[in-house]
A and B are shown apart, each in its own frame.
Chain A
């Protein structure tokens, strides 16, 4: 997705905003009165969260052609940096927001896997859209986007090509370490032993997916299996998750925006 594609033309009036301050990217979404996605924007996360949020809100105002002098559109913040969004009327966790966004878009319950930059979650959603159970990755980055990012950078493969390269591999090596830092050392050692980059990459994906599958088992897989989060852009992830679980993976139109979209939907309820 290019930056231009990340924006949409605002066709209807913006009634609520949601912002997802993630560890890797910040997403902002505007919805109309009917709860449909009206505008969105995404950029890399800046360590100065407050400045970035102020800038993004300003941009949202301009790009959604807000003429009113009073910017009174309700805002809900989510993501790990949500507490730093002072402008938000409420701060809600990613669990609730992702579930809300995905349920609205796909209109059914099931098991949602959200693989983010620094944490991953498996969320059980009831047929009515309520969160009934959830599981998050342990106290380390194993099973998250950061795991792939770190190790891939060691191999000089661009992030957006990682999935493609992994899927093209004819065989895979087993990466025994689930720890992001130790896996990196393991990768260096494998490269030194002349193992093909494709095989290592595929092994890394397998390692990550198996961590996710273990989390799915904790919650209990109730089909359909849905996927959200930035890592979904890596095409090997849904494919290998399907292989490991034997379930077809359903994707929303904007997997990466589901947290911010859910936040905007909650903000819309505040308005009512």
Chain B
């Protein structure tokens, strides 16, 4: 890193950028703080911690913009063992999170089209297409994405990442580390599968160290592991508080508040944020405040959110007194918290990153949903059949039937796509949702 680069980074990020974000947060806090300005008559205003969460995420993307001046950058999949990279001081970018930002900013279709024009099929995951589009055109709502020095893909979320990251590796001409996590067919992963993942992690170290230009400090790795575990536990506790009636937050709030647990896991600021969030959620419970003002029915959401229609769905359901209380998606970043053992980093990372819900059978997901219906006292389920996410959507028709039969709750299969609004039929979705709401009466 050159002295000019260091100075440029300090000026842009720590002096100008951070001050700007602080002012922006203060302005938003004034708005959120004033209930008179909150327009929805059905939904409680967002948590007062929201502007702080937003600032944290904005700061991450601000740092990203200038990261190449200052640090080594790694692009990783959402289920990657990020603790290793954090311990080696990589700045970590999650293309999936970036794609979700494009989705909520409603520019994902425009950016995906860049990839489609280059020949990538519309049958490919819309996150991957958004990433390719951004890579090819430079278009992004976050200013600028830093170029990666290293890529790390873990197959525990899908097989698409395998090919997706090969495309990135060819384009950027940087090393790609691939962690192959064997699928867990039954309740437990066989020991040889865990050892297989552990060995891959250990074998990745020389490449990681070479690119990072430093040696792995095991003490730092343990510290990152400890922070990662704490943040995941706090996030889980925030979600578990929704067993209260009325639920203090909805899954839509969780969708917007989950970015730090995905892209800033292992940072102290993330732990602080979720600790403060938990405190505020507890205050809401003590005061009997629900996220949906007149909570009448409680539902489970399965699969990724429909990023470009979050607000519409929250308001439509809120208007009918329906709170989406839990989701298998947000749950995935908390349920494995206790597996992280900072004292046995490689062993526990291998286990934790082999067990995500998408790396397990459809029966496991069904069992998870049944457990959540019980734990959160739910009245029904919405299963988002996500055209882009095949591993998440496969089995949903049978899961729906089993939930109706075994749990005696109504369940709706809603066809859409997490990022591609061209796969979303406004009227059909509205009609199905309205009929489902009438059924819940």
Q: Which residues of A contact B (CB under 8 A)?
A: 80, 92-96, 119, 130-134, 136, 138-139, 218, 220
Query: Could you tell me if A138 and B415 are in contact, using CB atoms closer than 8 angstroms?
Result: yes
10 A-B pairs closest in CB distance: A95-B435, A93-B435, A96-B438, A139-B425, A93-B434, A131-B439, A139-B428, A93-B438, A134-B435, A93-B431
Task: Determine how close the nearest CB of chain A comes to the CB of B385; give it in whole angstroms.
Answer: 10
Proximity bits, B194-211, A CB within 8 Å = 1, else 0: 000000000000000000
B397-441 contacts to A, CB under 8 A, are 397, 401, 404, 410, 415, 425, 427-428, 431-432, 434-435, 438-439
* Chain B residues positioned under 8 Å from A218 (CB to CB): 397
Query: Could you tell me if A136 and B439 are in contact, using CB atoms closer than 8 angstroms?
Result: no
| Nearest chain B residue, comparing its CB with the CB of A121 | B435
Out of A80, A96, A138, A139, name the residue touching B435 (CB < 8 Å): A96
* Secondary structure type dominating chain B contacts: helix
A139 to B416, CA, bound (A): 10
Out of B410, B425, B432, name the residue touching A132 (CB < 8 Å): B410
A218 to B413, CA, bound (A): 11
Given A138-B415, A139-B415, A218-B397, A131-B428 contact (CB < 8 Å)? no
A80 to B428, CA, bound (A): 9
Task: Determine how close the nearest CB of chain B comes to the CB of A215; give it in whole angstroms.
Answer: 12
* Chain B residues positioned under 8 Å from A93 (CB to CB): 431, 434-435, 438
* Chain A residues positioned under 8 Å from B427 (CB to CB): 80
* Chain A residues positioned under 8 Å from B435 (CB to CB): 93-96, 131, 134, 136
* Chain B residues positioned under 8 Å from A131 (CB to CB): 435, 438-439
Query: Could you tell me if A95 and B425 are in contact, using CB atoms closer than 8 angstroms?
Result: no
Task: Determine how close the nearest CB of chain B comes to the CB of A173; give it in whole angstroms.
Answer: 30
| Nearest chain B residue, comparing its CB with the CB of A135 | B413
- 7 A-B pairs within 8 Å (CB atoms) are namely A93-B431, A95-B435, A96-B439, A132-B439, A133-B404, A136-B428, A136-B435
Query: Could you tell me if A136 and B431 are in contact, using CB atoms closer than 8 angstroms?
Result: yes
Q: Total interface residues on B, using CB and 8 Å? A: 14
Task: Determine how close the nearest CB of chain B comes to the CB of A160; give it in whole angstroms.
Answer: 28
Q: Which residues of B contact A (CB under 8 A)?
A: 397, 401, 404, 410, 415, 425, 427-428, 431-432, 434-435, 438-439
A177 to B85, CA, bound (A): 51
* Chain B residues positioned under 8 Å from A138 (CB to CB): 415
Query: Could you tell me if A136 and B397 are in contact, using CB atoms closer than 8 angstroms?
Result: no
* Chain B residues positioned under 8 Å from A119 (CB to CB): 428, 431
| Nearest chain B residue, comparing its CB with the CB of A131 | B439
Query: Could you tell me if A95 and B438 are in contact, using CB atoms closer than 8 angstroms?
Result: yes
A48 to B434, CA, bound (A): 24
Task: Determine how close the nearest CB of chain A comes to the CB of B439; give it in whole angstroms.
Answer: 5
| Nearest chain A residue, comparing its CB with the CB of B416 | A139
Task: Determine how close the nearest CB of chain A comes to the CB of B188; give it in whole angstroms.
Answer: 34
| Nearest chain A residue, comparing its CB with the CB of B432 | A136
* Chain A residues positioned under 8 Å from B404 (CB to CB): 133
Out of A94, A134, A139, A220, name the residue touching B439 (CB < 8 Å): A134
| Nearest chain A residue, comparing its CB with the CB of B415 | A139
* Chain B residues positioned under 8 Å from A132 (CB to CB): 410, 439
A133 to B404, CA, bound (A): 9
A220 to B410, CA, bound (A): 14
Out of B410, B428, B434, name the residue touching A133 (CB < 8 Å): B410
| Nearest chain B residue, comparing its CB with the CB of A96 | B438
Task: Determine how close the nearest CB of chain A comes to the CB of B27; give it in whole angstroms.
Answer: 36
Task: Determine how close the nearest CB of chain B comes to the CB of A81; give it in whole angstroms.
Answer: 11
* Chain A residues positioned under 8 Å from B432 (CB to CB): 136
A96 to B425, CA, bound (A): 21
Task: Determine how close the nearest CB of chain A comes to the CB of B399; give it in whole angstroms.
Answer: 13
| Nearest chain A residue, comparing its CB with the CB of B425 | A139
Task: Determine how close the nearest CB of chain A comes to the CB of B92; give it in whole angstroms.
Answer: 37
A139 to B439, CA, bound (A): 21
Task: Determine how close the nearest CB of chain B comes to the CB of A134; give it in whole angstroms.
Answer: 6
Task: Determine how close the nearest CB of chain A comes to the CB of B437; give it in whole angstroms.
Answer: 9
* Chain A residues positioned under 8 Å from B431 (CB to CB): 80, 93-94, 119, 136
Query: Could you tell me if B415 and A92 are in contact, using CB atoms closer than 8 angstroms?
Result: no
* Chain B residues positioned under 8 Å from A94 (CB to CB): 431, 435
Task: Determine how close the nearest CB of chain A comes to the CB of B254; give it in whole angstroms.
Answer: 28
* Chain A residues positioned under 8 Å from B428 (CB to CB): 119, 136, 139
A94 to B434, CA, bound (A): 10
A127 to B136, CA, bound (A): 58
| Nearest chain B residue, comparing its CB with the CB of A95 | B435
Given A132-B410, A132-B439; 17 other pairs, CB 8 A cutoff: A80-B427, A92-B438, A93-B435, A93-B438, A95-B435, A95-B438, A96-B435, A119-B431, A131-B438, A131-B439, A133-B404, A133-B410, A134-B435, A134-B439, A136-B432, A139-B425, A218-B397
A130 to B401, CA, bound (A): 18
Task: Determine how close the nearest CB of chain A comes to the CB of B393; give it in whole angstroms.
Answer: 14
* Chain B residues positioned under 8 Å from A96 (CB to CB): 435, 438-439
Task: Determine how close the nearest CB of chain A comes to the CB of B270; give it in whole angstroms.
Answer: 39
A111 to B427, CA, bound (A): 24
| Nearest chain A residue, comparing its CB with the CB of B427 | A80
| Nearest chain A residue, comparing its CB with the CB of B411 | A133
* Chain B residues positioned under 8 Å from A133 (CB to CB): 404, 410
A132 to B438, CA, bound (A): 11
* Chain B residues positioned under 8 Å from A139 (CB to CB): 415, 425, 428
Task: Determine how close the nearest CB of chain A comes to the CB of B299; give it in whole angstroms.
Answer: 15
Task: Determine how close the nearest CB of chain B comes to the CB of A45; give it in whole angstroms.
Answer: 15
A16 to B425, CA, bound (A): 33
* Chain A residues positioned under 8 Å from B439 (CB to CB): 95-96, 130-132, 134
* Chain B residues positioned under 8 Å from A130 (CB to CB): 439
User: Which of B397, B432, B439 has the most CB atoms of chain A within a 10 A radius of its CB?
Assistant: B439
Task: Determine how close the nearest CB of chain B comes to the CB of A48; give it in whole angstroms.
Answer: 18
Task: Determine how close the nearest CB of chain B comes to the CB of A192; give it in whole angstroms.
Answer: 32
A209 to B434, CA, bound (A): 26
A125 to B109, CA, bound (A): 40
* Chain A residues positioned under 8 Å from B425 (CB to CB): 139
* Chain B residues positioned under 8 Å from A134 (CB to CB): 435, 439
* Chain B residues positioned under 8 Å from A136 (CB to CB): 428, 431-432, 435
Task: Determine how close the nearest CB of chain B comes to the CB of A154; give it in whole angstroms.
Answer: 26
| Nearest chain B residue, comparing its CB with the CB of A220 | B401
A238 to B410, CA, bound (A): 29
Task: Determine how close the nearest CB of chain A comes to the CB of B360; give it in whole angstroms.
Answer: 25
A95 to B430, CA, bound (A): 13
A130 to B440, CA, bound (A): 10
A45 to B431, CA, bound (A): 19
| Nearest chain A residue, comparing its CB with the CB of B429 | A139
